[in-house]
């Protein structure tokens, strides 16, 4: 393993294991998680200023892709360094990369892969779904000795928000070790629909105030060890009866009803300093009057999230390769519609080249302005700079 990785001594590993359990309220107060050790050899990264970026470089920043999207002629998962990726990245750069379970084999391989990906250019943000429970790309891999959680619902049953903080900090500690920047967690959905097939025990519970407290503390726990969290899935996937991975999903609630339930955790997370919110492909006909997924709705993104809730951070779509999008929209049109609605980052487009070229064409035609692109890129670069500075890795 290269020298840039964060090393944990035996005491650190024992502390992580001790923190993995969910204690009851009358358990002794757990000790706070210490800051992780600094790397033995720091690798400094440079960020190109917005004013020096070409339009292609700017457009690339708006995409977060799987590693496989950078190796389009290959089949299977990318698990290591490849010259073809470096060459493809020069023509189709991206601002972020998300690793899935198939990309992660063992500790040394994962560390080598993240080091390679970070060095592709302009520091791609490395992201992962590590919620704790059934969605955990590292913790469910038996080659890793890290804390394992039954579910976030189980953490929520403790009603002790300190347990959520410890879950975030312990998960964040091992994500930092492997150089991940962003965890697509916590789940802020309120699990109120017994017929829900996608959220379930991924949520902290069915009480919006409980979910708000738990998810906010999980977010703070991640932040305490220099990993950013992402609130998901706005405007709430807990009251849907279908799974947006496979097709249309909706909530019939009005905005007033959402404010009384689903919005409570998101408002708490925003107040707690959330830097990113993921938009689910949930349609809200009772709010927008259409069946348009929230991901593509200016009413939801610009009007409600930014306007009414006052959110100023990054907005990222849920995977654009999910059925709720792909069954109704071509990959290029979906990407442009999401940007028009107010999204900053397009996650996992069904076809990266097509989506990238469609955004370039939209700027050339005047459908999207370069000023609109600059707004999102400014937010993205600010987050990258903040993360690198917090870790002492920014080449000023």
> What are the Cα distances from residue 330, in Å, to 64, 145, 146, 317?
18, 41, 40, 15
Q: Is the dihedral of CA 248, 253, 256, 258 positive or negative?
A: negative
Cβ count within 10 A of residue 247: 15
Angle between helices 331-341 and 370-390 (to 10 degrees): 80
What whole-number distance in Å separates Cα of residue 158 and Cα of residue 389?
Answer: 35
What whole-number distance in Å separates Cα of residue 47 and Cα of residue 158?
Answer: 43
Residue 315's Cα: distance from chain center in Å? 10
What whole-number distance in Å separates Cα of residue 231 and Cα of residue 211?
Answer: 12
What whole-number distance in Å separates Cα of residue 58 and Cα of residue 360?
Answer: 10
Note if 160 is an active site residue.
no
Q: Strand, helix or coil at 330?
A: coil
Note if 118 is an active site residue.
no
Catalytic residue among 4, 243, 245, 374: 245
Catalytic residue among 160, 318, 348, 351: 318
What whole-number distance in Å separates Cα of residue 94 and Cα of residue 352?
Answer: 10
Helix (H) or strand (E) segment spanning residue 114: helix 107-118
What whole-number distance in Å separates Cα of residue 245 and Cα of residue 67?
Answer: 20
Please say whether the beta carbons of 152 and 202 come within 8 A.
yes
* Terminal-to-terminal C-alpha distance of the chain: 27
What whole-number distance in Å separates Cα of residue 322 and Cα of residue 256?
Answer: 28
Please say whether the beta carbons of 20 and 357 come within 8 A.
no
Which string of DSSP letters, residue by residue, matches 123-172? -PEEEE-B-SSSSBTTTT-TT------S-HHHHHHT--HHHHHHHHHHHH
Helix (H) or strand (E) segment spanning residue 292: none
What whole-number distance in Å separates Cα of residue 380 and Cα of residue 59?
Answer: 11
Residues tagged active-site: 245, 318
């Amino acid at each position: 393993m290269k020298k840039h990785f964060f090393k944990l001594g035996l005491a650190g590993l024992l502390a992580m294991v001790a923190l993995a359990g969910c204690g009851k309220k009358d358990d002794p107060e757990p000790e706070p998680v210490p800051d992780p050790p600094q790397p033995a050899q720091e690798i400094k990264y440079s960020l190109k200023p917005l004013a020096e970026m070409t339009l292609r470089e700017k457009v690339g920043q708006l995409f977060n892709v799987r590693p496989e999207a950078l190796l389009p002629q290959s089949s299977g998962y990318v698990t290591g360094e490849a010259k073809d990726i470096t060459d493809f990245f020069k023509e189709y750069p991206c601002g972020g990369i998300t690793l899935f379970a198939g990309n992660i084999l063992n500790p040394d391989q994962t560390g080598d892969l993240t080091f390679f990906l970070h060095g592709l250019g302009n520091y791609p943000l490395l992201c992962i779904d590590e919620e704790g429970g059934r969605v955990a790309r590292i913790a469910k891999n038996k080659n890793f000795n890290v804390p394992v959680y039954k579910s976030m619902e189980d953490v929520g049953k403790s009603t002790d928000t300190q347990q959520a903080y410890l879950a975030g900090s312990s998960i964040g500690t091992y994500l930092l070790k492997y150089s991940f920047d962003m965890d697509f967690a916590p789940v802020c959905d309120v699990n109120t629909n017994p017929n829900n097939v996608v959220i379930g025990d991924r949520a902290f519970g069915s009480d919006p105030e409980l979910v708000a407290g738990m998810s906010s503390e999980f977010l703070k726990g991640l932040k305490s060890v220099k990993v950013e969290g992402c609130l998901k899935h706005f405007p709430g996937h807990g009251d849907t009866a279908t799974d947006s991975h496979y097709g249309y999903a909706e909530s019939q609630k009005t905005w007033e009803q959402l404010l009384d339930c689903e919005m409570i955790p998101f408002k708490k997370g925003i107040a707690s300093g959330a830097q990113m919110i993921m938009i689910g492909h949930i349609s809200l006909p009772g709010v927008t009057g259409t069946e348009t997924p929230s991901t593509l709705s200016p009413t939801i993104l610009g009007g409600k999230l930014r306007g009414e809730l006052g959110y100023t951070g990054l907005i990222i779509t849920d995977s654009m390769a999910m059925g709720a999008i792909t069954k109704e929209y071509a990959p290029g049109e979906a990407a442009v519609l999401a940007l028009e609605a107010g999204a900053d980052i397009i996650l996992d487009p069904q076809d990266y080249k097509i989506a990238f070229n469609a955004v370039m064409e939209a700027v050339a035609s005047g459908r999207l302005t370069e000023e609109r692109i600059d707004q999102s890129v400014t937010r993205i670069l600010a987050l990258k700079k903040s993360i690198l500075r917090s870790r002492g890795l920014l080449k000023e």
